[in-house]
Amino acid sequence: MVQMIATKAEFDSIVAGDKLVVVDFTASWCGPCQMIAPIFAQLAETYGDVVFVKVDLAETYGDVVFVKVDVDANEETAAACEISAMPTFQYYKGGAKVDELVGASKEGLEGKIKALM
């Protein structure tokens, strides 16, 4: 399951860990964001070693975390991460951003996960 990150403090706490964290910066009104959302969720299930985050909660799966950030609900985090287009996926390890992908590309999203694991 992918959680939404609600605050900048929560975001900072999640990305500070040793695991690879994949952050999906999204918006409810963004068509490409809605298109890629089920793929992001599927990748979270497939790559149990990565953390996938949506900025609104984060759930840890093995060594990778997947989370999401709603840019409208969590403007502070979106601004701090310099998000100017959605969807934007940022990859973090040890508190540092190690890569970024702009756009709804399953191949690009998964390719970067594999390269960074």
- If pLDDT is split at 50, 70 and 90, which confidence band does 60 have? very low
Does a structural domain hold residue 114? no
Does a structural domain hold residue 109? no
> Domain range for residue 50?
3-103
Question: CA–CA separation, 26 vs 46, rounded Å?
Answer: 21
Angle, in degrees to the nearest 10, between helices 31-46 and 106-116 = 40
Q: Is 33 a catalytic residue?
A: yes
Question: CA–CA separation, 114 vs 91, rounded Å?
Answer: 12
The CATH number of the domain holding residue 38 is 3.40.30.10
Question: CA–CA separation, 18 vs 86, rounded Å?
Answer: 26
Domain count, the chain: 1
Q: State the catalytic residue, choosing from 33, 67, 86, 104.
A: 33
Does a structural domain hold residue 99? yes
Question: CA–CA separation, 99 vs 35, rounded Å?
Answer: 22
Does a structural domain hold residue 48? yes
pLDDT tens digit sequence for 23-59: 999 999 999 999 999 999 999 888 866 666 555 434 4
Q: Is 81 a catalytic residue?
A: no
Q: State the catalytic residue, choosing from 2, 21, 22, 30.
A: 30
